Amino acid sequence: MARLIASLVLALSLLGCGLGMALPVFAAKEFNKQVLIGADFHGADLRATTFSLTNLREANFKGANLEGASLFGAKLQDADLSDANLRGATLDSAVFDGTKLDQAILEDAFAFNTRFKNVSIIGADFTNVPLRGDSLKILCAVASGTNNSTGRSTFNSLECE
């Protein structure tokens, strides 16, 4: 019975996303290997949620709390992660192409093999994020702004030279 109620609450909350209703906590939820194109998770509490190998193209994570979440191998083309909390998130092997990361906090995220292309990172905080040299070069070329929450400049948080 509890499982049925939890499933019903999740379904109703996902339907409510488009109606401007608040989303509940999705603590430790798994969305692995799913196709969630255009999904709306704005403002959601998604701490420790896994989206491994999930297609999240055009998904809306604006203002979402993804602290400690796993987006390993996720496809995030044209997704909006602006104002998102990605502290300690696993972003390895994810594809960020046309992705909006403005004002996102990625502090201590793991993104060594993450692909960045045509991203917007105005005010994003990349403090302590390990990046490959080619990714760092791409990000430093577009780094600008200061994060409103941490007060760190994007350029400095990336340790651009």
Query: Kindly report the CA angle at 55 between 50 and 61, in degrees rounded to 5?
Result: 65
Residue 89 lies in a domain: yes
Residue 15 lies in a domain: no
**pLDDT per residue over 7-61, tens digit each?**
433 444 444 444 444 445 544 599 999 999 999 999 999 999 999 999 999 999 9
**pLDDT per residue over 97-115, tens digit each?**
999 999 999 999 999 999 9
Confidence (pLDDT) at 28: 55
Evaluate if residue 126 carries a pLDDT over 50.
yes
Average pLDDT, the chain: 88
Confidence (pLDDT) at 120: 98
The CA radius of gyration of the chain, in Å to the nearest whole number, is 15
Residue 4 lies in a domain: no
Residue 1 lies in a domain: no
- CATH at 29: 2.160.20.80
Query: Kindly report the CA angle at 40 between 22 and 62, in degrees rounded to 5?
Result: 80
Q: Give the residue from 36, 43, 46 showing the smallest Cα distance to 21.
A: 43
Structure token digits, residue 76: 């995030």
DSSP labels, 65-87: B-TT-B-TT-B-TT-B-TT-B-T
Q: Give the residue from 33, 28, 26 showing the smallest Cα distance to 11.
A: 26
Structure token digits, residue 83: 């104002």
Residue 11 lies in a domain: no
Residue 9 lies in a domain: no
> Which comes out higher in pLDDT, residue 5 or 76?
76
Percent of the chain scoring above 70 in pLDDT: 83
What range does the domain containing 40 cover?
A: 24-161
Number of domains into which the chain is organized: 1
Confidence (pLDDT) at 13: 45
Tell me how far CA of residue 120 lies from CA of 20, 28, 35, 154, in angstroms: 25, 28, 24, 11
Q: What is the mean pLDDT of residues 124-130?
A: 98
Output the pTM of the full model. Answer: 0.82
Structure token digits, residue 144: 């600008």
Confidence (pLDDT) at 38: 98
Residue 3 lies in a domain: no
Residue 19 lies in a domain: no
Structure token digits, residue 58: 């055009």
Structure token digits, residue 159: 């340790």
Confidence (pLDDT) at 128: 98
Confidence (pLDDT) at 133: 96
